[in-house]
Amino acid sequence: MTAENPIPGEEPELHSVQALRALQLDRLQWTVRHAYENVPLYRRKFDEAGVDPGDIRSLDDVRRLPFTTKADLRETYPFGMFAVPMADVRRIHASSGTTGRPTVVGYTQTDLDNWGDLVARSLHAAGIRAGMKVHNAYGYGLFTGGLGAHTGVERLGATVIPVSGGQTARQVQLITDFEPDAILCTPSYLLTIADALEQAGIDPTSTSLKVAVLGAEPWTNEMRAEIERRLAIDAVDIYGLSEVMGPGVASESVQTKDGPHIWEDHFLPETIDGETGETVPDGELGELVFTSLTKQAFPVIRYRTRDLTRLLPGSTYPAVRRIEKITGRDDDMVILRGVNLFPTQIEELVMGIEALTPHFILELRRESRLDTMTVRIERHPSLGIDECRAATVVLQQRIKQHIGTTVEVVLEEPGALPRSEGKYKRVYDLR
């Protein structure tokens, strides 16, 4: 943190709307000019849209700018969107994506410093303090999770244990031996770790952990309750994406657990109707769009995240907006015989049924021109098989009642399904 603002989260812009808007406008004008002057794709798109950086006189003028999509990043692969000479780029990350070329992003030293500050602020909001030990099980490497979180822990003055993802038995050993106060990983991986603790004969509620800062994949409040109960910790949501920075674009406060606050001094959010591109008002469901306000190496202008959420008023940090917990992206949406559903809707329904576990996958097939979905779900290891079988019928009925579609539910033995080591793949489309 800078000398003037030693305590993360106490920056004046997070508490005064007037100060925030002035800072945002200043930074928006800088970003738009910087992108126009240094990235040929932005220059071309702004010219085609007939908009000049000088036209941005208010924050609302951002709407005059064209959107940026993943396709733009693919077109300029690998470094075509960088706005500074390569000699000024200190780090590169990339997201693998499910198909095609990875998306490549870059950071100057200032970008890395800002990122570290924002992750430190996010961890502080989650209740982590200088002097604590933090077990970081986000994957290290090209993925932004591991190294992004790592820098933030150091920046906060806490101790980072850089474990990375995978090798679950070792995670269990290190949690036991090093006694960390906090853990950072995906929610699905924390469940894998909880199972492994139990298998090692360790009561998951008995560890030194007090808080988990979880993100990188959609998860529900029902999943939060399950994680908090199983591990006797606070589970806090952290959001981000590589194109916009990485973890720490928005983060939740442990006091309120009411959705991540967007660090609006660095990112200007909008929500839009994904089909028409029109702005939707705060409070209504739309696709989240971000314009970066301080990024040097990789500025993004109206980047379409494909994440669906609502913008809500700030609570712990009153001047910035929150996002409602993100439970789906438009490309995770399953369309089954005309009904739209997100895997998190199934997660919500599973969580209330004791004989079933959160380990489930969805398989989609096409049988004689009709789409079908099978939920394969592991039974609870210590409950009787008949009770678990009966629970599958309950799940099937709940899905019919709440989502309006008939699915098959297949009971699996404990440990039969793939375990998460990071972002969990729930949907297998076999059509």
Q: Least distance in Å: CB of 173 to ligand DLL?
A: 23
Calculate ∠ Cα 78-274-245, nearest 5°: 40
Closer Cβ to ligand DLL, 64 or 74, answer by number: 74
Q: Least distance in Å: CB of 101 to ligand DLL?
A: 14
Q: Are 178 and 149 within 8 A, CB to CB? A: no
Q: Least distance in Å: CB of 213 to ligand DLL?
A: 8
- Provide DSSP, 72-138: HHHHTTTTTT--S-GGG--EEEEE--SSSSPEEEEE-HHHHHHHHHHHHHHHHHTT--TT-EEEE-S
Calculate ∠ Cα 363-382-347, nearest 5°: 35
d(CA 155, CA 134): 12
Closer Cβ to ligand DLL, 181 or 287, answer by number: 287
The residue nearest ligand DLL at its CB is 215
Closer Cβ to ligand DLL, 239 or 298, answer by number: 239
d(CA 375, CA 239): 27
Q: Least distance in Å: CB of 157 to ligand DLL?
A: 21
Q: Least distance in Å: CB of 404 to ligand DLL?
A: 24
Distances (CA, A) of 167 to 145, 164, 190, 192, 198: 17, 9, 13, 11, 16
Distances (CA, A) of 19 to 12, 22, 30, 265, 320: 7, 5, 17, 10, 11
Q: Are 340 and 334 within 8 A, CB to CB? A: yes
Closer Cβ to ligand DLL, 53 or 246, answer by number: 246
Q: Least distance in Å: CB of 69 to ligand DLL?
A: 13
Q: Which chain residues interact with ligand DLL by CB under 6 A?
A: 95, 138, 144-145, 215-218, 237-242, 246-247, 305, 307, 326, 329
Closer Cβ to ligand DLL, 265 or 307, answer by number: 307
Closer Cβ to ligand DLL, 216 or 388, answer by number: 216
